[in-house]
Amino acid sequence: MRTDGLDSDDESIMSLRDSVKEIAIGSFAGMVSEIIEYPADLAKVRLQAQLLTPPTDPSQIFKGPIDCLQTTWRNEGFRGLYRGLPAPVAGSMVETAALFLSYSYFQNLIRTFAPPSSSSPQLTVPQLGLAAAGAGFVTSFILTPIELVKCKMQVQLMNTSTNARVPPIHTVPKAVERLVRTTPSVASSPIFDHILRNTPSEGRRPPGLVEIVRSTVATHGVRGLWLGHTGTILRETGGTASWFAVKEWVAGKLLERRLGPNRTTRSSDSLLTWESAFAGAVSGAACVLALYPADTVKSAVQTEEELLSHRFSSSRERKAAPTKPPSFYRTFVKMYTSHGVRGLYAGCGMTVLRAVPSSGVVFVVYDGLSAWIG
């Protein structure tokens, strides 16, 4: 017998309304966060990418995050700091919406199988962490293709001024590219190599989102869009668990300090703006530090092919290059052997610095809109 006064239709309507609210609020929060943090994310990815595939010119190796941002600004301008932004902005809206929606779903699932006690109607921090881990696992399947495209676009210009003699095939004139597609034998001819070597560098345009997706699918199949997924799963499952659990714990402590230990409201219902920002900022740092090496390896896996494509001096070398994607484990071992623990944390300081305000903004927007919409 139902005791809450709601029939099944009312419950379905409320569930649908809550889902729409989670999607709308999460999408907006994700978009705002991505725009704020993007330059720092670009520096992080470039620092991670150069560990295993450094520029052939040692003078072009970034010395740190500030040097990376300064060099990018000097060589590529303001647009360079936001290279590849449209894909992650659209993706972050989908990803953040899915994250909060999944988090709410797993919380309800836990309440179904492990109802909270009457004395404490709220889920415990470990239960919230479990729900967040499930949300991170689900969201990783959406996030990996988005990050693959983003990372490839972020490192496109890292090797364009090196001693490599031949640009990648996707930067040559469209007429030559169409000729190669229609007549594959041309790609292996000396004439084609001569055309590549003498193609002027002015006006070359790195591939865009659609071209990268098309090239990846053509080379590795649809599964190629999930290159580096192991790292994303590890990072998102553990990192998201830390993100939500730490946020709720800190928010609970702040509310307890202000309202007393006998409070009965949820943390997000009565947080002040500064409390939501502070709890979000602390949780953002915890999220990054939880499984940062997994993100470093993921970035190296996703960018290696793009960076190596600038090194080939002939079409024969391009054809002889390995086409099998690197595995997460082999890349991890290679990075640890070459650079040790310090290498696995390349760009970590910059990432923490961007995560603190970004995560604070996400929860300020999310908690604020949740309280306003009701």
HEC secondary structure over the chain: CCCCCCCHHHHHHHHHHHHHHHHHHHHHHHHHHHHHHHHHHHHHHHHHHCCCCCCCCHHHCCCCHHHHHHHHHHHHHHHHHCCCCHHHHHHHHHHHHHHHHHHHHHHHHHHHHCCCCCCCCCCCHHHHHHHHHHHHHHHHHHHHHHHHHHHHHHCCCCCCCCCCCCCCHHHCCHHHHHHHHHCHHHHHCHHHHHHHHCCCCCCCCCCCHHHHHHHHHHHHCHHHHHCCHHHHHHHHHHHHHHHHHHHHHHHHHHHHHHHCCCCCCCHHHHCCHHHHHHHHHHHHHHHHHHCHHHHHHHHHHHHHHHHHCCCCCCHHHHHHCCCCCCCHHHHHHHHHHHHHHHHHCCCHHHHHHHHHHHHHHHHHHHHHHHHHHC
**What whole-number distance in Å separates Cα of residue 100 and Cα of residue 121?**
20
Q: Mention every residue, 6+ apart, whose C-beta is less than 8 A from residue 301.
A: 227, 228, 231, 325, 326, 327, 328, 331
Report the distance separating Cα 330 and Cα 177, nearest Å: 34
Supply angle C-alpha 46, 52, 55, rounded to 5. Answer: 65
Please tell me the predicted confidence (pLDDT) of residue 204.
54
The whole-number pLDDT of residue 71 equals 87
**What sign does the CA torsion over 50, 55, 57, 59 have?**
negative
**pLDDT digit of tens for each residue in the chain (374 aa)?**
344 454 555 555 556 666 676 677 767 777 777 777 788 888 888 888 888 777 766 767 888 888 888 888 888 888 888 877 777 777 777 777 788 889 989 998 998 888 766 656 678 889 999 999 999 999 999 989 988 988 888 887 675 543 333 334 344 445 544 544 454 554 454 544 544 455 444 445 667 778 888 988 998 899 999 999 999 999 999 999 999 999 999 998 898 888 877 665 555 557 888 999 999 999 999 999 999 999 999 999 988 887 776 554 444 444 444 556 778 999 999 999 988 999 899 888 888 988 888 888 888 887 877 777 65
Please, are residues 268 and 367 in contact by the beta-carbon 8 Å criterion?
yes
- pLDDT at residue 169, rounded to an integer: 38
Whole-number Å distance between alpha carbons of 347 and 99: 25
pLDDT of 167 reads: 39
